[in-house]
Amino acid sequence: MKLKKDWLDRQNIIIDDINKLEISMFQKIPKSIRINTLKIKKKDILEMLNKKGWKFKQVPFFEDGYIFENDVYGIGNSLEHFLGYIYKQEVASMVPPIILNPKNEIILDMAAAPGSKTTQIAQLMNNEGCIVANEKNQKRIYSLQENIQRCGVVNTLIAKTDGRNFGKLNIEFDKILLDAPCTGTGIIMKSPKTAKIWSEKTTKNYSELQKQLIKSAYNSLKDSGMIVYSTCSLEPEENEDVVNYAIQELGMKVKDIKLKNFKTRKSITQWKNKKFDNEVEKAVRIYPHDNNTTGFFIAKLIK
């Protein structure tokens, strides 16, 4: 697999360690799991996993996340997984629900399938409050349903609609997670075909969709409510440009994001000839070679 030169050239504008980024796209990242405390006490499942010879360390910013330190196979086929005691989930994917910090509230997960973040949100809420988990693709709804049931989640309703419709439904949410559809250039190591099919045109098309989705989320949000916007893309059009739109066109405010013992980088404030609002810098970029994870972008927005 080779990365496209025009893609590398773009990334080289943003970071000065492009060689490390390129290398990271060809490396396997450590496997990780989230312990599902809705179904089992953490100490009990840790004892079970230790008996299997699985060795792991805790995710720095999340007490129920664990990273494997040895080669482990068949996690998704293990009894513990089938029973919903554990959820195979990549470390960077655990960040957006942590930033959302859900309480006993009404939450919208606007693009929910396959349910990694939905079930994590339910866990953080201890199955209280209410989550609307939305997915427009019927085939992906099946995996969302399966994971919600397997994990013992009972505070969640599944909706099937285009996320752009929510702003028209006159429903208000306390908080919204918009883990937006994207080009996925932060997870090339997991999906090598992304490197082949990526184009600047596709990035721009996704950016337009993402702006429509965040506008819909804004119109579905209570005053002073929060949107956590995230992608597994490294493209400024899909990240900073969308947050800039939320600031300048929707009037949203950006809040700082801090993660314990986990490296993040400031967002950029200019891309090519476009200058972004200085508030955009409060969003964070997560690079694969900084933490040995997938790449992510996350912004915390207040109405």
Residues recognised as catalytic = 232
Query: Please, what is the Cα angle at 154 between 148 and 158, to 5 degrees?
Result: 55
Query: Please, what is the Cα angle at 60 between 179 and 129, to 5 degrees?
Result: 50
Query: Please, what is the Cα angle at 209 between 202 and 112, to 5 degrees?
Result: 105
d(CA 117, CA 133): 10
Q: Is 67 exposed, middle or buried (0-12, 13-18, 19+ CB in 10 A)?
A: buried
> If you ran DSSP here, which 8-state letter would residue 11 be given?
H
Kindly give the pairing relationship between strand 265-266 and strand 284-286.
antiparallel
Residue 113 tokens, joined = 């399938």
- The b-or-e profile of 276-290 (16+ CB within 10 A means b, else e) is beebbbbbbbbbbbb
- The b-or-e profile of 185-222 (16+ CB within 10 A means b, else e) is bbbbbeeeebbeebeeeebeebbebbbebbbbbbbbbe
